[in-house]
Structure 1
Amino acid sequence: MSTKLLLLEDDLLFGESITDVLEEEGFEVCLCRNGQEALDETYKNHFDLYLLDINVPLIDGLSLLKELRRANDTTPTIYLTSYQEIETLSQAFEIGADDYLKKPFNTNELLVRIHALLRRTKGKARHCFGDLCLDDLHKCVLRGGKEIPFSLKEYQLMALFIRNAGEIVTKEMIMDTLWNPSEMISDGAIRVYINRLKQEIGSESIVNIRGVGYRLVS
């Protein structure tokens, strides 16, 4: 299974050159030229690592990562930026960045940092509750060691439940995780995904907290 990276870079020539380097290293790369495009891609695909510029159109790199972290997306993130101000870099780490490189940089150093971060996060990549295990590295959910065939949104919802096992997962948390903030979502749409999870893990495993949300129980 190839390691998939999202690269947010509005300079097309620079972005394509970095993409070439990463693909030669064996990574699968999705190059996005603005923050909205990158956000949309995170709703459609699983990524193992984000490489983000800060000063990009539509949604800047800081706001993008803030939105992703708010939706419980813990994908490792490296900023590739020309910003020198310590205040901006500090804000990046406060939001949830794992590392940064100042432009211009040596591509070999970029590869070293990517591999180091992926190794570091690999050991933290599995969260288990009962016989359910969330594998963040491979973006899948296992039951008794066997992968459950979830769609992307089903995986994201199951991941939300496992990370908050035993706690109430509100409808607002579910909407923030599964859908773009601009989309209008009904309770019925949420129930469709809840019922799909129940089909796989047992209807008794997810309890309805009337008017509030749901809870994953053992």
Structure 2
Amino acid sequence: MRILLIEDDKVLGETLKDYLSIENIELIWLWDERELPKVIGKYEFDVIVVDLILRYTSGEKIITTLRKVGIKTPILVITAKSSIKDKENCFIRGADDYLTKPFDFKEFVLRLKALSKRKHIESIITIGDITINLDGKTIHKGNEEIRISKNAWELLSLLIKKKGEIVDTETIMNYIWPDKEVGEEIVRAYIKELRKILPSDCIKTYPGRGYRLL
């Protein structure tokens, strides 16, 4: 799971980063919300966590902007604001959940996991004669389990999340290798690995653009 945190409290941000690493949850943390446009187009997130009281703008405006540009990722608000009016305002703008500070870190993680599942209506995906369990991270053809590399699994998961959409090559590279410089040829190699196990023609190539899972 990869989370985007927009929070200018550096103590809280560092604490959440350490805690989530224990839970094997990757955190991309922005303490300066003005950097959001650079990040939102570079990475794929399972949940976006937004504080309402920020240095340069408000969390409410960020929620509105994200929804206006078509970002459908679940949004969790964390804030010291606790009134019903504040909560209503956030939900109207498109927030999915609301957690008032101070909060228990375990509850925070539980809410993240619940929200991340909203993005995937089904955890069991069938493609031809292949059954993919997203939660269990397994692939079966009949009773036979098929094993693929970790990077191939990450690529398959991304294509499933974006099924029916063209996923550009840059998005794939930033999703699987966020901290490494890799070329398009490595993406093609893992696409080839997936094509060996999936039904023919279920991954369509768009030269110069990316790939789409049909």
The TM-score, its normalising length taken from structure 2, stands at 0.60
> Is the contact between residue 53 and residue 61 of structure 1 (CA under 8 Å) also seen in structure 2?
yes
Match runs of 1:32-71 below 5 Å: 32-71=30-69
Distance 2:85 2:162 in 1: 44
| 1:25 aligned partner | 23
| 1:184 aligned partner | none
Report the CA distance between 1:118 and its aligned residue.
1.6
Distance 1:75 1:123 in 2: 13
> Is the contact between residue 39 and residue 64 of structure 1 (CA under 8 Å) also seen in structure 2?
no
Distance change >3 Å, CA 149–CA 40, structure 1 → 2: closer
Report the CA distance between 1:141 and its aligned residue.
6.7
Q: Please state if 1:102 is matched with 2:100.
A: yes
Distance change >3 Å, CA 75–CA 138, structure 1 → 2: farther
Q: Please state if 1:73 is matched with 2:92.
A: no
Report the CA distance between 1:46 and its aligned residue.
1.4
Give the residue type in structure 1 aligned to 2:35.
E
Q: After TM superposition, what 4+ stretches of structure 1 lie above 4 angstroms from structure 2?
A: 141-145, 194-197
Distance 1:65 1:195 in 2: 34
> Is the contact between residue 3 and residue 26 of structure 2 (CA under 8 Å) also seen in structure 1?
yes
> Is the contact between residue 74 and residue 118 of structure 2 (CA under 8 Å) also seen in structure 1?
no
Distance change >3 Å, CA 148–CA 34, structure 1 → 2: closer
Distance change >3 Å, CA 60–CA 51, structure 1 → 2: same
For the aligned residue pairs, the C-alpha RMSD in angstroms reads: 3.7
> Is the contact between residue 35 and residue 60 of structure 1 (CA under 8 Å) also seen in structure 2?
no
Give the residue type in structure 1 aligned to 2:37.
L
Gaps of 5+ in 1: 126-136, 154-193, 202-218
Give the residue type in structure 2 aligned to 1:140.
L
Match runs of 1:186-197 below 5 Å: 196=208
Report the CA distance between 1:53 and its aligned residue.
0.4
Distance 2:81 2:211 in 1: 47
Distance 1:83 1:143 in 2: 34
| 1:173 aligned partner | none
Aligned length in residues: 152
